[in-house]
Chain A
Amino acid sequence: MYSFNLGTIGGFLAAMWALIRGVLALDPNAYVAALTQDGGGRLSVAVLFTAGLSITLGQSVVLFANRVPRRRFLFSLILSSLLLLVGVFFWAATVWLLATFLFGAQQSMRNVLIMVSLSYAPMVYGVFVLLPYLGNIIAIFLRIWILVGVVGAVMVIMPLAFWQALLCCLLGWLFLELATRFPLVTAVEAWLWRITTGAPEMLATADVVDQFVQEMRAAARPFAGDLPDEDGRP
């Protein structure tokens, strides 16, 4: 069912699409095909990168809010997608470590990485996160879909019970969340943000808007120059 012909761009894209469809349907054969056929690793990275681009576009409000210029926008999208690769690598590594040392599973780190990367396939719908109102719901749904996919993939390649696979994945995700809060990691993220966007720091939308309101307030005040002050003096 899954036979890859990666000799041409069309063949590569067709294989990628077949894998994405398989993973979306949570078909174990798709995972097995990626592990057993040549080019499975490359395909899984391509799926992950595509998913990364899509979700970054879906969450691009942060770039707009920080007034990132058009030229830097595309650059920021690509970099964010690459950062997703790093995050997935970290998650896969922790899942592998936990499965190996907690439950004695025998599997190569490379295979776990392919599985976790492929499980990000639902994120190809990440661009839909851009939709007003529905976007927030879609984002949650996609994260759950990915978690289910990763747990299923781990169970395909390791002889683990459901709860063991779930534990490895959840703990791996928790470590990833903790790691992103390390001062060194946040400093690197801030540096990457500065060089890609040209903005001094990443501000939340509410903070940027607050700055704007203060400017509005200052701009409106000269018009109130004739008003009496607090003591009632003009």
Chain B
Amino acid sequence: MSAVVEPLFCLFGLGLLLLVVMAFASPLEALGWWSGWSRRRSSAARPSDQPALPLPHSDADYFLVYLTAIGGISAEDISKRERAFLAELQRQVPNAEIIQDVFPFSVTNNPLNGERQLGWLWQKIHNSRMKRRGGFVATLIFVRNLLQVAVSGDPRYGPIYNVGVAREIGLSLLRHGYQPGSGKPITVMGWSGGGQIAVGVVPYLNQALDAPVYVASIGGVITDDPGVAYAEQVLHLQSSKDKFPNICDILYPGRWPFVRYSAWNQALQDGRIHTIDPGPMTHTGRGDYFDYRATLPDGRTHGQKTAALIGQFVRQQALPAAA
């Protein structure tokens, strides 16, 4: 018996130790970037260090930024169903510029397989996951990114983390032709853990670009981040089959209904948070919000329904008078 139990305990202990080490390391990327300790060239944490860019001008009326979920290793490496969803969303809102080049789980938009000491390791883990051989090791990507969500939602680290991601989103918006002060609405969409980052960046985008910022959360796991106070409107899509987002209702006091003056509850009272059940969808995997095979009773695929709801949310946003 002990021949089975002891190795299991040993494995459990090692797993726990690894988790603690990863948790300790989780705020260091953001803190290293902010303090200037990081050696990465793009880590220059002063806006004035950014060279002036030859910026294009976009005629788009709406700017949408998509932030992937905690399974991602980079902004480019999103799943086929996410791409299909974004293409459908573009059809829903043809006059929108959809941006998907920001990796929300790095304060410097540095993919896990990018310029990092352990970049090769993350790539290896990702490769084995793609071949469905990853098993336990593949969950390290989820754990690593989940810890970044916790950093974003932590009042001590959140401002630094979120302003870093907001800077990357802001630069991407400028590269895609967004004109600061134009009043054109920006919608930050986040799936799962990306939902928290989407809320976290709102105040900084709002202030830095003089822009009305909206949030579309797709099964978003959102903490009691004060950023929600700066959002014009929040659309929160959550299926009755998806219980993951409910975890924040328990873990974060600002989400408790009787904490009436929290930013979240104030936004609820102001009618700025709209929760919609898009139908029976799972949080991730087969039958999730982006599934383009699973269909609803009305014949639409999950991805089509999600895109339709977000498209409607975007089209309802007020445009500046001149636009």
A: residues with CB less than 8 A from B are 61, 63-65, 67-70, 130-136, 205-206, 209, 212-224, 226-228, 232
Contact = CB atoms under 8 A, between A and B. Distances in A.
Nearest to A207: B159
A220 B48 contact: no
A228 B323 CA distance: 12
B174 A223 contact: yes
B180 A70 contact: no
B174 A220 contact: yes
Nearest to B174: A223
A63 B35 CA distance: 8
A224 B150 contact: no
Residue picked from A70, A130, A216, A226, most chain B C-beta under 10 Å: A216
Given A205-B156, A215-B46, A132 B35 contact: no
Nearest to A61: B156
A224 B181 contact: yes
Contacts of A134: 23
B27 A61 contact: yes
A223 B208 contact: no
B141 interface: no
Contacts of A228: 322
B36 A67 contact: yes
B156 A212 contact: no
A165 B53 CA distance: 66
Q: Which of A69, A132, A209 has the most CB of B within 10 A?
A: A132
Query: Which 10 pairs of residues, A with B, have the shortest CB-CB distance?
Result: A132-B150, A64-B31, A219-B47, A216-B208, A209-B159, A215-B47, A216-B47, A224-B180, A133-B150, A220-B180
Contacts, number: 108
Nearest to A133: B150
A68 to B, nearest CB: 7
Contact of B35 (A67, A214, A218): A67
Interface string B31-65: 11011110000000111101011010100000000
Contacts of B170: 216, 220
Contacts of B50: 219
A132 B143 CA distance: 13
B182 interface: yes
Nearest to A139: B156
Contacts of B147: 132
A209 B35 CA distance: 12
Nearest to B26: A132
Contacts of A215: 46-48
B209 A132 contact: no
Given A67-B36, A132-B23, A132-B27, A220 B208 contact: yes
A216 B207 CA distance: 9
B26 A216 contact: no
16 contacts: A65-B160, A132-B26, A132-B157, A133-B154, A134-B23, A205-B159, A205-B160, A212-B163, A215-B47, A216-B47, A217-B210, A218-B48, A220-B174, A221-B181, A223-B180, A226-B57
A12 B23 CA distance: 32
A215 B157 CA distance: 20
A205 B31 CA distance: 11
B111 to A, nearest CB: 21
Given A67-B34, A132-B23, A220-B174, A213 B204 contact: yes
